[in-house]
Structure 1
Amino acid sequence: MGRGKVEMKRIDNKLSRQATFHKRRRGLLKKAQELAVLCDAHLGVLVFSSTGELYDYCSPHTSWSELIQRYKGITNAQLQGTNRDDDQKLLEDIARLKRERDHLVASHRMMTGEDMPCSTTKEELADLEQKLECALGKVREMKDKFLNQQLEESRHKVSILEEKNSLMRHVMNHDEQPRAVVEAELMAPMMLPASAFGSFFPEAEEEGLSTSLQLWPQQLPDVQDPSLQ
């Protein structure tokens, strides 16, 4: 039965991870040695473990310093070539943008009549006049659109204010009792006369608290009982 496919992810178990590292590290260095001997290749392999241990291999017909110098020389040449190409492209883009800018400036000055050449023909002037009229029409159209938009917004605001005024007028016209009367009615339970509770307090009359409704006179008339005579 063949081996199952190993999933390429970090091994969580520390012992299994170390065992797999040492096994595959030996295989990697062995393959590098075979490649150097069989194919006469100049190569170097550097491996650092998770604990910081260094394992390396360098082909027998070269050294690490030579490999590093060759690597730096090749990569620097590639970077310089890339930078040179990028600089050349950047200069070409700058020159193209300058030409476009000069053309736009000349067209603008010609449209405004500031730099009109003497050799301009009648047809060119008529064409320029037509272009200016077309541009003026577009400007007026945008202006009218902007003014109409402002007018619609103003009408909408006026409509909202009219609705608010109408609502307030409706509330005031259908209010059956004035505010003062309503407040007095609300405060009435708090100012009931003492006589409403079946007793009479003359000191309340002395203090001037006689604004409540009186159900009988303050002093009872003298009544003579015939039976007492």
Structure 2
Amino acid sequence: MGRGKVELKRIENKINRQVTFAKRRNGLLKKAYELSILCDAEVALIIFSNRGKLFEFCSSSSMMKTLEKYHHCNYASLEANQSNTQDNYHEYLKLKAKVELLQRSQRNLLGEDLGPLSIKDLGHLEHQVESSLTQIRSTKTQSMMNQLAELQQKELALVDANNLLKMKLEERTAATIPQQPALGFFQPVGVNSTTSQLGFHHVGSGEINAEVSSAHNINGFIPGWML
């Protein structure tokens, strides 16, 4: 049967606790020695028993040199961390001051918190506002000119499209209307020839007046067809 898993808790029995301490202490010292030999590592091990008895192992020639090396590495990292923390804090203060300055400038541009400003600061603020307005007006004018140019181009395109549709409509209308026969195939009937063929002759205005006068003289009235 294999060895069961040992529960990690304080051994209540004093004798068993001392026996376990001695066995595991020797095993730990052995492991430290093997680690230093196999891996060429500098190992320092310090053990204090519950009675305050010291047990130590050091792979180097002096435990103090190893401890000094440990202190140097440990405190150097702490100092570096402290230095980084201080640098970060100073950077935070600088950024905070810049943010406050920008917020105050924004409020001044909006016409707020102007009381603490001097006449020189107010003049500078006025000049800054006028420059901003000039730039805004220039940008607005340029934008309006660009929009006007676009609208003119659209207008020209619509006019061209309208003319093209008008030409197509005229062509379609001309194609649907039947063509009139040419006059060369028919001879117009002359008035003189027709009247001569039908036995009529041209009556002048003088003859009509004479006929009217004779009819009036004979009957004393004008016939209805003469009116």
The two structures have a TM-score, normalised by structure 1, of 0.49
Q: Flag the structure with larger Rg.
A: 2
- Provide TM-score, normalisation by structure 2: 0.49
